[in-house]
Amino acid sequence: MKTIIEPFRIKVVEPIKMTTAAQRDALLRRAHFNTFLLAAQDVLIDLLTDSGTGAMSAEQWAGIMRADESYAGAVSFFRFRDSVKDITGFANPLPTHQGRASERILFELVGGTGKVVPANAHFDTTRANCEHSGAQAVNLPIPEARDPRSRHPFKGNLDIAALEALLAEVGPENVPLVIVTVTNNTGGGQPVSLENIRAVRAVCDRYKLPLFLDACRFAENAWFIKQREPGMSNRSVRSIVREMFDLADGATISAKKDGMVNIGGVLLLRDPTLLQRASELLILTEGYVTYGGLAGRDLEAMAQGFQEVVEEDYLEYRVRTAEYLGERLLQAGIQIIEPPGGHAIYIDARHLCPHIPPHQFPGQAVVAALYRSGGIRSCEIGSVMFGGTTPDGSPRPAPAMELVRLAFPRRVYTQSHFDYVIEAAQEVFAIRHGLKGLRIVEAPPVLRHFTAQFEELA
Ligand code: F0G
């Protein structure tokens, strides 16, 4: 077996500015130990997110030049519509500026006080939009999802028994829809099996509830299904993707992930009444239905991106990247969520820094150390992101895990960049006992991880 290489060559390059460890220490302090507050030019390898950070293809850039910027009925809109329809089967996709815009519209339509929205796992913006509408967001992952070492092939699955129990407890009349997030970002980029989506569908059918996908990483999820689910290896990713969407009544998509673009989103709805009402809300806050807050060129880039992401050479390379980094970190003694996910590797910060309690943010301490050591920007997914208080002021329960996410921009970094990341992580491992906890000095009540300011504890 030969090395799985990047299935592209590089036509445009963007220089990276080198920094010293001393410079990075000063920059980190100036950013109050929050890597969101760093200037991107002070980052060497930016693994903050895989969202909107990918490199576009020559065909996407060509589409950008061809784009029709007409206000209504632009050619670019029809290309976008046909491409999304080709991939998902939904005939009338609504463009939005990004995933959370789709979520906001959806929850304005179906949310509200007293409603309960179950999911395998809500992403933070999904939860925030759900709660903003007055509804309650409930995560129902399978038990294996809470064990970083469990090698369950579909750790993103929704716990069907827990869903049944929740419906019995709160009453299906209070549940406007069920969400399946593919892949489960907050739980380690873990996939959901087709069998599990079918099982959720069966429960939804029994209670006459709509099933929605949070389909940001639909292609990576389909690749895992092809690799891991019995009977799927001979199917094309395209056909698996199509079956995933066929099982759903709607979807919110951030095209900044598997849409392979820097900005863009989609809202998919099958129900004509809901579609009509969503179109009205779209016009109210995003833009007319044939551009949804985007330029024609963004629609062109999405139309092409949705086609490129289901190419299997690309997906093989993409998922191999995460696997490669994951294997090396495990060899170095760094516990990660196993098996490696699709778009990211998640370091188990509690395992790396058992001396730092959750309220002193072990994940944030590791984030700081990775930046100091290698100029690597990562993101905490733990007590910083999920802590704080609920809208009614009560403290949120401690998250099950304290994680540090290394998320991979699509088609941006090469294997030697990842080798460098491995070296920096090894350095952090060597000094792990000396890493210090942090204290929050200032933070907003919602989505606090973006702007919270920290101080290092003595
Ligand atoms: N759903 C999931 C599963 C996501 O991962 C994201 C974004 C969204 C919805 C919202 O999409 O950013 O376009 O509004 N995740 C990014 C991340 C921000 O870094 O994981 P958006």
Q: What is the pLDDT of residue 157?
A: 98
Average pLDDT over the chain reads: 96
Terminal CA-CA length for the chain: 50
pLDDT at 338 over 90: yes
Q: Which residues pair with 252 in a beta bridge?
A: 214, 267
Q: What is the pLDDT of residue 389?
A: 79
Please give the CATH architecture assigned to the domain spanning 58-308. 3-Layer(aba) Sandwich (3.40)
Residue 336 phi, psi dihedral angles, 5° rounding: -125, 170
Question: For the chain, what are the domain ranges?
Answer: 21-50+312-456, 58-308
Tell me, in angstroms, the distance from the centre of ligand 1 to residue 458's CA.
Answer: 35
Q: How many CA atoms lie within 13 A of 231 on its CB side?
A: 3
Mutation choice for ligand 1 from 48, 182, 220, 257, CB with most ligand atoms inside 8 A = 257
Q: What is the pLDDT of residue 392?
A: 78
Q: What is the pLDDT of residue 395?
A: 82
21-50+312-456, which class in CATH?
alpha beta
Q: What is the pLDDT of residue 311?
A: 98
What is d(CA 282, CA 276) in angstroms, rounded to the nearest whole number? 10
Mutation choice for ligand 1 from 102, 129, 132, 254, CB with most ligand atoms inside 8 A = 254
Percent of the chain with pLDDT over 70: 100
Q: What is the pLDDT of residue 368?
A: 98
Task: Tell the residue nearest (CA) to atom 19 of ligand 1.
Answer: 49
* Averaged pLDDT, 409-429: 97
Percent of the chain with pLDDT over 90: 93
Tell me, in angstroms, the distance from the centre of ligand 1 to residue 8's CA.
Answer: 26
Task: Tell the residue nearest (CA) to atom 10 of ligand 1.
Answer: 99
Listed residue (398, 388, 367) closest to 440, CA to CA: 388
Residue 255 CA: nearest ligand 1 atom is 13
- Are domains 21-50+312-456 and 58-308 of this chain identical in fold? no
What is d(CA 207, CA 269) in angstroms, rounded to the nearest whole number? 19
Which range is least confidently modeled, 138-147, 243-252, 365-374, 382-391?
A: 382-391
The pLDDT tens digits for 135-185 are 999 999 999 998 989 999 999 999 999 999 999 999 999 999 999 999 998
Cβ contacts of 30 within 8 Å, gap of 6 or more: none
Give the CA dihedral 180, 181, 183, 186, nearest 10 degrees.
-130
Listed residue (257, 104, 253) closest to 181, CA to CA: 253
Q: What is the pLDDT of residue 448?
A: 87
Q: Is 100 in the pocket of ligand 1 (CB under 6 A)?
A: yes
Task: Tell the residue nearest (CA) to atom 5 of ligand 1.
Answer: 185
Residue 50 CA: nearest ligand 1 atom is 19
Distance set, CA 89 to CA 52, 73, 121, 241 (Å) = 24, 21, 25, 10
Q: How far is CA 6 from the centre of its chain?
A: 22
The pLDDT tens digits for 244-299 are 999 999 999 999 999 999 999 999 999 999 999 999 999 999 999 999 999 999 99
Q: Is 183 in the pocket of ligand 1 (CB under 6 A)?
A: no
Classify residue 78 by burial, with Cβ atoms within 10 Å: 0-12, 13-18, 19+: middle
Enter the pTM of the model: 0.95
